[in-house]
Amino acid sequence: MSGRGAAAPGRRFARAARALSCAAALSVLSGCASRPALLASHDDYAAYRATRVSRTLEGRLAAASAYLERHPEGAFAAEVRAYLARAEPVYYAAKRGTAAGLAAYLATLPRGAFREDATRRLRALVRERSAGDLLSRAARETDAQLSRQRAERARVREELAAWLRRFLGREAWGRPLAEAPAEVIVPFSLTLPAPRCAPAGEGAAVCAKRIALPFVVNAGGESAPRQAEIEISVLGDAAGRPIEVAIRGPDLFTRLEEARSAREVAPDDPEGRIGGIALAVELARGAFAARVSGDPSCGRQVEAPVVLHLECEGARLVARAASEAGEDDAVTIAVAPAAR
pLDDT tens digit sequence for 205-235 = 999 999 999 999 999 888 899 999 999 999 9
Residues 35-50 have a mean pLDDT of 78
Is pTM beyond 0.85? Reply is no
Total H helices, total E strands in the chain:
10, 7
Phi/psi of residue 102, each to 5°? Answer: -65, -40
Give me the sign of the Cα torsion angle 266, 271, 272, 274: positive
DSSP three-state, residue 211: strand
Q: How far apart are the first and last CA of the chain?
A: 152
Return d(Cα 99, Cα 109) in angstroms, integer: 15
Q: Give the neighbor-by-neighbor strand order of the sheet with 204-219.
A: 196-201, 204-219, 222-236, 242-249, 329-335, 315-320, 306-312
Q: How confident is the model at residue 39 (pLDDT cuts 50, 70, 90)?
A: low
DSSP 296: G
Give me the sign of the Cα torsion angle 291, 292, 297, 301: negative
Buried b (16+ CB within 10 A) or exposed e, 35-50: ebeeebeeebbebbee
Query: Please, are residues 223 and 269 in contact by the beta-carbon 8 Å criterion?
Result: no
pLDDT digits (tens, 9 = 90+) for 101-149: 888 999 999 999 999 998 998 888 888 887 777 777 777 888 888 899 9
